[in-house]
Amino acid sequence: MYRILGCAALVHKRPTVSKILTLPYAANPQPEELFDHFPSKKSIKCLIKMPEGVYEGNTIIIKGSVPSNAIRFSINLQCGPSISMTDREDIAFHLNPRFNNNTVALNHLVDNEWGLEESFGGMPFSEGTFELEIVCDESAFKVNVQGKRFCEFTHRVPYTRIKALTVDGDVNITTYELLPKKEEVDISKISQVQDPEESIPTTVKNNV
């Protein structure tokens, strides 16, 4: 688990963090700085480089807090670490809670063009702390908020292309964690424990 202090760029390589950098644009964003999906550099809260990528079965856990005056924020699983507004990296998964209309939008971005947006009602985020889980399985990203399943987003961009995570907007991020795939044990392949009496061979000694 990696604790984020302020606005920092984390570089993770399984299983440890190799480098921590402080970004130069750590100013708190103002709502008017947010333009549709594209944030200004000042609104970026953190950039987490993921050179080893994301694999099937990985779980990304993000903990943070939402301020009382929040309008929206975004979490992006990108195909590279660039945050250029003129040549944005492709985004495999874009999660965008919008408090002004109580919805969460999901989308992807390829060649600076957004795909068909999926919108979910029943806002799972509110003022205060939250825990977000993004589970990557073979067919979709599964999103859990506060331990409860909220929605799913079918893969449109191969998750193997993901190389960075960015967070922007009205949110404060405190910790980030990438969990490996849980290994399932096939109990049918585990040797059965024999009864102690059955496991000891019996010998008969004949007296001559």
Q: Is the residue at 18 inside a domain?
A: yes
Would you say residue 201 lies in a domain? no
What's the pLDDT at 1? 59
* 3-state SS string for 120-171: EECCCCCCEEEEEEEEECCCEEEEEECCEEEEEEECCCCHHHCCEEEEEECC
Q: Which of 2-6, 113-117, 183-187 has the highest mean pLDDT?
A: 113-117
Contact indicator for 49, 10 with CB cutoff of 8 Å: yes
Residues 11-47 have pLDDT tens digits of 444 433 323 323 333 333 333 333 334 455 556 778 9
Q: Flag whether 56 is in a domain.
A: yes
Residue 105 lies in a domain: yes
**Closest by alpha carbon to 133, among 184, 64, 71, 82?**
64
**For residue 53, is it left (φ>0), alpha (ψ between -120 and 50) or beta?**
left
Q: Collapsing DSSP states into helix, strand and coil, what is residue 70?
A: coil
Domains in the chain: how many in total?
1
Per-residue pLDDT at 147 exceeds 70: yes
Residue of higher predicted confidence among 180 and 35: 180
At residue 84, the pLDDT reads 76
Domain containing residue 166: CATH number? 2.60.120.200
| Residue 177 domain boundaries | 2-26+44-184
21 in helix, strand or coil? strand
Answer whether 31's CB lies under 8 Å from 71's CB.
yes
Collapsing DSSP to helix, strand or coil, 12 comes out as: strand
Please indicate whether residue 6 or residue 65 has the higher confidence score (pLDDT): 65
Q: Determine the residue type at 154.
A: T
How far, in Å, CA of 135 to CA of 148, rounded?
12
Is 48 domain-assigned?
A: yes
Q: What is the pLDDT of residues 154-167, one digit of tens each?
A: 999 999 999 999 99
**pLDDT per residue as tens digits for the range 61-115:** 999 999 999 999 999 999 998 877 777 899 999 999 999 999 999 999 999 999 9
Would residue 204 count as lying in a domain? Answer: no
Domain contains 208: no
76 inside domain: yes
